[in-house]
Amino acid sequence: MNLASTTRKKMNKATISKVSMFQTVVATLHENQTAVNSKPAFASALQSFETRLAELEQLLNDQAKDLKWIANEKASTREKAIEKVFVLVKMIRAYGGSIGDVNLEAKMKIRKTDLKALGTVGMINSISFVLNEAGLIEAELVNFGIDSSLINEVIVLRNKLISLNNAPRLALISRKTQTARIASLERDLLDDLRTTIDPFVEMLHDDFPTLYAKFAVARHIVKPGYKSTFKNQTPPEPDDGISE
| Average pLDDT of every residue of the chain | 83
With bands split at pLDDT 50, 70 and 90, how would you rate the model's confidence at 8? very low
Give, in order, the Cα–Cα distances in Å from 234 to each of 139, 188, 219. 83, 19, 18
Residue closest to 98 by CA, chosen among 133, 149, 140 = 140
- Using alpha carbons, list the distances in angstroms from residue 220 to 63, 91, 162, 164, 226: 27, 67, 48, 42, 7
Listed in sequence order, the residues at least 6 apart from 108 whose beta carbon sits closer than 8 Å to its beta carbon are: 89, 90, 92, 93, 96, 130, 133
* Alpha-carbon span 92 to 108, nearest angstrom: 7
Residue of higher predicted confidence among 121 and 71: 121
Task: Give residues with Cβ within 8 angstroms of 240, minimum separation 6.
Answer: none
Calculate helix-pair angle for 148-192, 120-136, nearest 10 degrees: 150
Judged by average pLDDT, the poorest of 72-76, 86-90, 102-106, 170-174 is 170-174
CA 49 to CA 43: how far, in whole Å? 10
- 27-84, pLDDT tens digit by residue? 999 999 999 999 999 999 999 999 999 999 888 877 766 667 788 888 999 999 999 9
What pLDDT was estimated at residue 165? 84
pLDDT at 207 over 80: yes
Confidence (pLDDT) at 70: 80
> What is the rounded distance in angstroms from the CA atom of residue 129 to the CA atom of residue 55?
46
pLDDT of residue 52: 92
Nearest CA to 200 out of 37, 50, 30, 48 is that of 37
Which candidate, 161, 236, 219, 224, places its Cα nearest to that of 22? 219
pLDDT over 70, % of the chain: 81
pLDDT tens-digit readout, 146-185: 988 999 999 999 999 998 888 766 666 667 778 888 889 9
Q: How confident is the model at residue 6 (pLDDT cuts 50, 70, 90)?
A: very low
Q: Does position 193 have pLDDT exceeding 90, yes or no?
A: yes
Closest CA to 75 of 178, 165, 175, 15: 165
What pLDDT score was predicted for residue 4?
Answer: 44
Confidence label for 226 from pLDDT (cuts 50, 70 and 90):
very low
Helix (H) or strand (E) holding 210: helix 209-219
Residue 119: count of CB within 10 angstroms of its CB = 10
Q: Which residues contact 189 (CB under 8 A, 6 or more apart)?
A: 18, 22, 49, 52, 53, 56
- At 12, the pLDDT band (50, 70, 90 cuts) reads low
